[in-house]
């Protein structure tokens, strides 16, 4: 008791007198730039901070990471440890993990198998098209002929095949059966599409998983004529009319979700209209395209068309005979489409083909592994797709930067860098931006999100990795884009590092 009484008076002293002085610490990384670590970092901070301290900098939430591209030394950070939406900068992760897992020379193979040999000019067993996720099969975004079906059909006709009976089956089980990513806007998949929007993914895909719908004017007040490529796939309810005006159209094309049923409404002018529609079942689209090719080669097709997931008695692929095999262009060429042109469909196909189990969850695991190999911390990373369309993707600017450093110093360096757009490069997402600057970068754009990440060369030849994310802004997007470009321009004009 005496001991207790000795110390009781101390309990009434002001708390500040009982505690040692608090050490002086730098402001946390989540709110401001970290203190400069060197003269190099000081110069970079002197470039970036004034830009982000202007009014436009206060109208967005910014995440910035700058590092030496060779050593990985951090030179500037602002909110670099916070999870942010990357938009199409997600494609950097898809490209990196694909090259890291498969290598630049990897090719996809698509096979045509038969359960029975032809007899008397008739293939009476099953024909099966086996896919491995090739995004380029029948695609129109690459030069050259990427559709092997015409050649296969003509070869069968030359071998004397005159009739195909039984079943024509599409095998797509390289991927899971989730065609769309979690967090996509419903408008991506239900309405007429440009290649900038979401298209379903499948282990067997064809023609960018789009159907070309051509609408030609009829007489005034009459229904227009509708044709499609490939033919005979979509079910079309044509409620549109033709107007007398020569140009312009108020045509609306929608697809009932979960089906390949199209509805045309509104009006079309005398010049007609062409739209690209994303389809629901890519596997059946590929099978239909094969049937069309057989018929164009003069072969009668009475075979029924099937997605392998919809039949209970699928033939054993190991017991079937391989008739033909088609190889895609090398992965390095396909990845140019992903990054330089920001093609979402190619990104999703490649992402799923590299993901463990062909699923988005397996893709997240693959990305986490890549970040850890790069020496980073995946933290609470969220990966829902390979294109960046999902608003549920989250990554820190620092983790993205660490992947860029890792790829810059790995054995896939040249292939990876070649996928990036150069400043002002024609037919790329940077064609109107930063022309003449020594920059290789990937753009990103969603509603209320802009991003740019890549490499920029300083005047002395040293390179910097940069990651710039802007989230949650309501100002006109061009103001954010302009601010990002000013930052990168400033980095390119830094004194020698």
* Amino acid 1: pLDDT: 37
- With beta carbons less than 8 A apart as the criterion, state whether 157 and 298 touch: yes
Q: In 3D, which of 417, 451, 452 has the Cα closest to residue 336?
A: 417
84 DSSP β-pair partners:
395
Query: What residues contact residue 9 under an 8 Å CB cut-off, 6+ apart?
Result: none
For the whole model, what pTM was predicted? 0.88
Q: What pLDDT, on the 0 to 100 scale, is given for residue 15?
A: 34
Which residues of the chain fall below pLDDT 50? 1-36, 194-196, 496-497
CA dihedral 428, 431, 437, 440 (to 10 degrees): -10
Left, alpha or beta for 392 (phi > 0: left; psi -120 to 50: alpha)? alpha
Using an 8 Å Cβ cutoff, are 276 and 211 in contact?
A: yes
pLDDT digits (tens, 9 = 90+) for 39-71: 688 889 999 999 999 887 788 999 999 999 999
Token pair of 270, please? Answer: 């005398």
What pLDDT, in 10s, does the model give residues 176-229?
988 888 888 777 766 655 444 678 899 999 999 988 889 998 888 889 999 998
363-411 pLDDT per residue, tens: 999 999 999 999 999 988 999 999 999 999 999 999 999 999 999 999 9
What are the structure tokens assigned to 435, written together?
A: 């022309």
Give burial (CB, 10 Å; 0-12/13-18/19+) of 266: middle
The alpha carbon of 401 is separated from its chain's Cα centroid by a whole number of angstroms, namely 19
What angle is formed at CA 344 by the lines to CA 343 and CA 348, rounded to 5 degrees?
125
- Nearest C-alpha neighbor of 95 from the set 469, 433, 421, 439: 421
- Helix crossing, 397-408 with 360-373: angle to 10°? 70
What is the token pair recorded at 78? 């602002």
Give the distance from CA 483 to its chain's centroid.
Answer: 25
């Amino acid at each position: 008791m005496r001991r207790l009484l000795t110390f009781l008076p101390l309990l009434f002293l002001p708390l500040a007198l009982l505690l040692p002085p608090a050490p002086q610490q730098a402001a946390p990384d989540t709110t401001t730039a970290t203190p400069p670590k060197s003269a190099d970092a000081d110069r970079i901070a002197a470039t970036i901070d004034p830009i982000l301290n202007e009014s436009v900098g206060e109208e967005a939430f910014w995440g910035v990471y700058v590092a030496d591209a060779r050593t990985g030394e951090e030179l500037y950070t602002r909110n670099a440890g916070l999870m942010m939406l990357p938009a199409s900068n997600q494609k950097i992760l898809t490209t990196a993990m694909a090259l890291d897992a498969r290598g630049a020379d990897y090719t996809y193979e698509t096979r045509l198998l038969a359960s029975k040999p032809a007899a008397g000019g008739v293939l009476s067993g099953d024909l099966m098209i086996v896919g491995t996720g090739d995004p380029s099969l029948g695609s129109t975004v690459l030069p050259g002929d990427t559709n092997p079906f015409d050649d296969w059909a003509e070869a069968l006709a030359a071998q004397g095949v005159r009739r195909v009976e039984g079943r024509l089956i599409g095998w797509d089980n390289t991927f899971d059966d989730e065609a769309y990513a979690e967090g996509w806007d419903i408008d991506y998949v239900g309405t007429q599409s440009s290649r900038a929007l979401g298209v379903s993914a499948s282990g067997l895909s064809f023609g960018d998983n789009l159907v070309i719908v051509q609408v030609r004017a009829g007489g005034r007040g009459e229904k227009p004529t509708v044709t499609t490529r490939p033919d005979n796939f979509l079910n079309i309810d044509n409620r549109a009319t033709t107007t007398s005006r020569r140009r312009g159209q108020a045509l609306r094309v929608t697809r009932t979700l979960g089906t390949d049923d199209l509805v045309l409404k509104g009006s079309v002018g005398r010049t007609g209209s062409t739209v690209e529609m994303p389809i629901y079942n890519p596997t059946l689209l590929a099978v239909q395209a094969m049937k069309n090719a057989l018929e164009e080669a003069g072969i009668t097709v009475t075979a029924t068309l099937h997605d392998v997931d919809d039949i209970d008695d699928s033939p054993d692929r190991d017991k079937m005979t391989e008739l033909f095999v088609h190889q895609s262009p090398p992965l390095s060429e396909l990845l140019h489409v992903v990054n330089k042109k920001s093609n979402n469909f190619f990104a999703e196909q490649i992402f799923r083909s590299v993901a463990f189990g062909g699923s988005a969850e397996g893709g997240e695991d693959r990305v986490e592994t890549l970040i850890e190999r790069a020496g980073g911390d995946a933290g609470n990373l969220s990966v829902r797709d390979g294109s960046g369309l999902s608003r549920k993707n989250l990554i820190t600017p620092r983790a993205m930067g660490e992947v860029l450093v890792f790829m810059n110093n790995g054995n896939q360096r040249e292939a990876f860098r070649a996928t990036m757009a150069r400043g002002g490069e024609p037919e790329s997402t940077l064609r109107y931006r930063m022309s003449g600057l020594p920059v290789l970068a990937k753009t990103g754009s969603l509603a209320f999100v802009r991003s740019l990440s890549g490499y920029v060369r300083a005047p002395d030849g040293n390179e910097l990795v940069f990651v710039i994310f802007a989230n949650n802004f309501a100002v006109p997007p061009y103001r954010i884009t302009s601010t990002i470009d000013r930052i990168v321009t400033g980095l390119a004009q830094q004194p020698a590092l």
